[in-house]
Structure 1
């Protein structure tokens, strides 16, 4: 992935406010050519010591994608007041932007 595209993704993620979420696809549409998969890859390769709110990026089904950090991601979202329904989905009213 081009470094410029990765930087676009990280700039967008940095803007997601606490208590809100967005999807890989929504972020991709805000860039100059990223795909949702590329956004996911960028999230999976964040530099050590970063301050990005990676936990606020979820999948198109409004669920946390299952990965090694999924439990931690749900915990961080709950700490910001994000609730999950019985299916593990976030309320669409919390979508940003």
Structure 2
């Protein structure tokens, strides 16, 4: 995996504000390369130092094996949840223009 792609993905994840999320595909679209699986690979290997819980599947579910921890983080940040999913229509981050000031 190219270092530039890894850095681009991690930098994009760091931009996601508390209470918002992006899907793996959203991050791939934002960085302009790769796809959801490649972003997932970056997150699984290098994502521990960033707000990994803010990256979810397109249906709003956190990554397998991390669901409980992710939901705890998301709930504490005020992300809209329904059961074990983030309500994507209300929480999806679409880029820097949605940053809260």
Tell me, yes or no, whether TM beats 0.5: yes
Give the alignment's Cα RMSD to 1 decimal: 1.5
Bigger helix fraction: 2
User: Which stretches in structure 2 are left out of the alignment for 5+ residues?
Assistant: 95-101
**Cα gap change, 1:56/1:79 in structure 2, threshold over 3 Å: closer, same or farther?**
same
User: CA separation in 1, counterparts of 2:47 and 2:60?
Assistant: 25
Is 1:73–2:75 an aligned residue pair? no
User: CA separation in 1, counterparts of 2:28 and 2:69?
Assistant: 24
User: Taking structure 1 as the reference length, what is the TM-score of the superposition?
Assistant: 0.86
User: CA separation in 1, counterparts of 2:86 and 2:67?
Assistant: 14
User: Taking structure 2 as the reference length, what is the TM-score of the superposition?
Assistant: 0.83
In the comparison of the two structures, how many residue pairs are matched? 93
| 1:94 maps to which of 72, 83, 91 | 91
Shift >6 Å, 4+ stretches: none
1:5·1:32 contact (CA, 8 Å) conserved in 2? no
User: CA separation in 2, counterparts of 1:38 and 1:70?
Assistant: 20
